[in-house]
Structure 1
Amino acid sequence: MQKVLNVGGSSKKIAIPPQYEAFEHLLLDIDPKGSPDIVCDARTLTSLEANQFDTIYCSHNLEHYYRHDVRKVLAGFLHVLKDNGFAHIRVPDMKAVMKAAVEQNLDIDDVLYQSPVGPISVSDVVYGYSLEIELSGQDFYAHKTGFTQKSLLKALQAAGFSKVYSGESNLEVTALAFKGTPSPATRALFQLPSD
């Protein structure tokens, strides 16, 4: 069975994309409260066994590391991925957030959108969800860097990913970054173009 490593997913109660329903889902998180399978800081993924996961799913976690630490996280992704593996990364789109704030004449504390957990301000997207940071007392919930589609692509290429597909939608950048060549099955699963 193929394995997906959900990096920084907080809890298995939070759904991951349907493309992974046939995968064994393993959760890695720095915070033990969500009962992760692996308690680990993503900056130290190279301490884990190499070449063991088919894919990594990393949704709204990469922005929680300082810019210089993003290189360590991405190096760890490459370390734990199998040769034909890939990373599926989702981050806030800072270009779209700034554009929306300017176009809607929003102050940093104004509500940008409503989420299942409540209103999300411009500040929450830029710096991290303030209520969660306050209630937990943990600074690992804070955002320490930000990305646009261009800067995420640059970081993934610099890390050594061979092929990256990315897109922008709903204040978010999504990327599929491949360690090697995408398999026909993965191309079909994500409806990727044939090169």
Structure 2
Amino acid sequence: MKISHSDLAAVVPALLARGKKTLLHVGCGTAPRSRLPECFQSPEWTEIRLDIDASVNPDIVASLTDMRAVASATVDAIWSSHNIEHLEGFEVARSLDEFHRVLKPAGFTLLTLPDMKKVAALIAEDKSNEVVYTSPAGPITPLDMMFGHQASLAAGKRYMAHRTGFTATSIRNKLVEAGFSEVRVMQGSAYDLWAIAIK
């Protein structure tokens, strides 16, 4: 699924504001700027890269649950692609609280993550080891989506394990509990969910 600038602007009026904006790209990994969603591609967005893995050369080395290196109310948007499922279930609230804290008023979080309802259906159909799509990390099976990318784990990247999961309802509830005033969750095209949460 691709989220276009016009699609997001209809939901997030802050996107229409002119001037420089700051994007906090959490769990950035090695993704180049060209892989950011279209709405963050324009030159007015300055990307700050945050990751727990220092080897990917982020601007900030930090966990999603402790982003104290980022001052409160200083970023216009957060982009989180397949990150919070790597946290323990009890850590998710702390992470989303941190997202809410660092955003400016009317700022927003855009996140994507596996849709456990769809993944569970594939496993129930006995397709747990079938490749269902290919990501930049390689072929992805339902077990990869459920437990974490097995090739990355085999290479010693233990933080790539998935420790929790979400349905559309559960991620919406978590974002509302974190204090976001408007939350919309949509199904993606690759067994994923997309959520927009406005502070």
TM range (shorter): 0.7 to 0.9
- Corresponding residue for residue 59 of structure 1: 81
SS in 2 for 1:98: helix
Pairwise CA distance, 1:139: 1.9
Q: Equivalences for 1:1-195 in 2 at 5 Å?
A: 1-13=20-32, 15-22=35-42, 23-46=45-68, 48-103=70-125, 105-106=126-127, 108-135=128-155, 137-170=156-189, 171-179=191-199
Which runs of 5 or more structure 1 residues have no equivalent in the other structure?
A: 180-195
Opposite residue 172 of structure 1, the aligned amino acid is D
Q: Equivalent pairs: percent with the same residue?
A: 34
CA contact 1:51–1:80 (8 Å) conserved in 2: yes
Pairwise CA distance, 1:134: 1.6
TM-score of the superposition, structure 1-length normalised?
A: 0.85
Pairwise CA distance, 1:46: 4.2
Opposite residue 79 of structure 2, the aligned amino acid is Y
Which runs of 5 or more structure 2 residues have no equivalent in the other structure?
A: 1-19
Corresponding residue pairs, total: 176
Opposite residue 106 of structure 2, the aligned amino acid is N
Q: How far apart are the structure 2 equivalents of 1:12 and 1:111? A: 22
TM-score of the superposition, structure 2-length normalised?
A: 0.83
Q: How far apart are the structure 2 equivalents of 1:12 and 1:112? A: 21
Pairwise CA distance, 1:102: 3.1
SS in 2 for 1:111: coil
What is the RMSD computed on CA atoms of the aligned residues?
A: 1.5
CA contact 1:46–1:79 (8 Å) conserved in 2: no
CA contact 2:112–2:195 (8 Å) conserved in 1: yes
Q: How far apart are the structure 1 equivalents of 2:136 and 2:89? A: 29
Opposite residue 24 of structure 2, the aligned amino acid is L
* Closer/same/farther in 2, CA of residues 116 and 29 from structure 1, 3 Å limit: closer
SS in 1 for 2:66: helix
Opposite residue 154 of structure 1, the aligned amino acid is N
Pairwise CA distance, 1:116: 4.0
Shift >6 Å, 4+ stretches: none
Opposite residue 100 of structure 2, the aligned amino acid is L
CA contact 1:4–1:53 (8 Å) conserved in 2: yes
